[in-house]
Structure 1
Amino acid sequence: MAAEQIETVNTGADKAKLAASVLLVIAGIVGFYMLTKQGALAQWGALIAALVASVAIFMSSESGKEFVAFCRDAVREAKKVVWPARKEAMQMTAYVFAFVVVMALFLWLTDKTLEWAIFDLLLGWR
């Protein structure tokens, strides 16, 4: 059974939209730092305006449309998840904490036993 190949065709216009989107983000960041003398309102206004314009251009591209479709599918799949009840989640959390405590005690005991066997019995350093 051969795997299906999914090919996307990126047109020049689509690549130009993506490039313009990236350039708008860069321009927004540069504008934020260039407008320090005009005050925080001008800085944040320029940055937010550039980011909004960048997102609008990105969403009009084919990649943006695919991203929106992916997000919709992800939300749809997340709604299908059967989440545990509070009681069940608390019980599982308690089991995990108990296991961690038991494992910590086991590792501590193993470490101390090996320390005693190596340093006291084998090497006689203590």
Structure 2
Amino acid sequence: MATSQIETVSTGADKAKIGLAIALVIAAIAGFYLLGKQGQVAQWGVLVGGLAAAVVVFGLSESGKELVAFGRDSWKEVKKVVWPTRKEAIQMTGYVIAFCAVMAIFLWTTDKTLEWLLYDLILGWKK
């Protein structure tokens, strides 16, 4: 019998960290707009600083640690991909374009044949 586990943010400390991260994002955005008269350096400093603090706080939570681990695992998988050479990519692109052209001609021919069959032969509607 297989058992499945559902992972959720269960600790109060984790919920507080995520809540604090959200509050920091909101405060950074609000500070950006409230400091409009102080100059762009102050605005952008508050925005970037607040967002950086929010990222750090989120990174310290369990969800943040899982997200970082997921990113590392994803990067490892991307490194395993065997990318095609330039020649292979050009050949495959050529095959796709040729197939699309052949299908377009086939569908156009089928359409015109059915149009001729239905309208000219069966219904007798000559153009």
For Structure 1 versus Structure 2, the TM-score category normalised by the shorter chain is 0.7 to 0.9
- Amino acid across the alignment from 2:39: G
Q: Does 1:67 pair with 2:74? A: no
In structure 2, relative to structure 1, the CA distance for the partners of 1:106 and 1:57 (3 Å cut) is same
AA aligned opposite 2:87: K
State the match for 2:87 in structure 1: 87
| TM-score where L is the length of structure 2 | 0.84
1:1-126 correspondence runs (5 A): 1-5=1-5, 7-8=7-8, 10-123=10-123, 124=125, 126=127
CA–CA distance in structure 2, aligned partners of residues 115 and 67 of structure 1: 57
Amino acid at match of 2:102: V
Query: What code does the residue aligned with 1:79 have?
Result: K
Q: CA deviation at 1:9?
A: 5.6
Q: TM-score, normalization: structure 1?
A: 0.85
Distance, in Å, in 2 between the alignment partners of 1:13 and 1:93 is: 52
Provide the identity percentage: 63
Instruction: State the Cα distance separating 1:41 from its structure 2 match.
Output: 2.2
Provide the aligned length of Structure 1 versus Structure 2.
Answer: 126
User: Where in structure 1 are there 5+ consecutive unaligned residues?
Assistant: none
Unaligned runs of 5+ in 2: none
How far is 1:8 from its partner?
Answer: 4.9
Distance in structure 2 (CA, Å) of the matches to 1:109 and 1:39: 66
Calculate the aligned-residue CA RMSD, in Å: 2.0
